[in-house]
Copies of this chain bind each other. A is one copy, B any other.
Amino acid sequence: MVKTEKIDSTQERILAAAKRVFLEQGMAGARMQDIADKAGINKALLHYYFRNKDKLFETIFKEVSSQFFPKITDVIESDMPLFGKIERFCSEYIDMLQKNSFMPMFVLSEVHKQPQRFKERFWKNMGPVLARFVGEIEVEMKKNKIKKMSAGQLFLNMVSLCIFPFIAKPLWMVSSGMDEARFKQFMEERKKEVPKFIIESIKN
């Protein structure tokens, strides 16, 4: 029906605008007026759809963060060899971040400012996912396929190498003189470089 279509389109325009503004400015820096403008609507209408800034933010944060925490499960449960899994994880994760390059800064910055709130509202069953990956790594170590090292450190290395470049992107572009296209290409190379770098380091 026409009605539903229109409701959806307005709501979607709001969500799209809110996402853009929140990702760029963060919760504290975002202005409701700015969101309304970018959605092409009146500010009151914003409050009609989402009672207040907090509710709107939470909606966006939920959506964005659910994407940010990668579904490692798929990769782990596949029956590839460990190195293949690392390759796939890095490559797919970097690829996803490339399409949402503001995501890491947004999520981590907000968690940074309100870790307690984050823990209470968003941290459901993320623990097991990490634990499973760490577990698998430890198995490979015992089988002597890879060097002995802290699985936690290795995991942190992996995500650091994938995520950090997007957090440092503006700084990196300014200091290296790369433009958007060149940066994209640089990240493209990284999809292969990062897993190679990791595997080279841990293989026995």
Interface residue ranges, A against B (CB under 8 Å) = 24-29, 105, 108-109, 111-113, 115, 118-119, 123, 126-127, 130, 147, 149-150, 152-153, 156-157, 159-161, 163-165, 167-177, 186, 189-190, 193-194, 197-198, 200-202
Set of chain B residues within 8 Å of A111, measured between Cβ atoms? 170-171, 174
Set of chain B residues within 8 Å of A177, measured between Cβ atoms? 127
Q: Which of A109, A123, A177 is packed against the most chain B CB atoms within 10 Å?
A: A109
Q: Do most interface residues of chain A lie in helix, strand or loop, or is the interface mixed?
A: helix
List 13 A-B pairs, Cβ < 8 Å: A108-B168, A112-B167, A115-B170, A149-B193, A150-B193, A153-B186, A157-B194, A157-B197, A160-B164, A160-B165, A164-B164, A198-B201, A200-B201
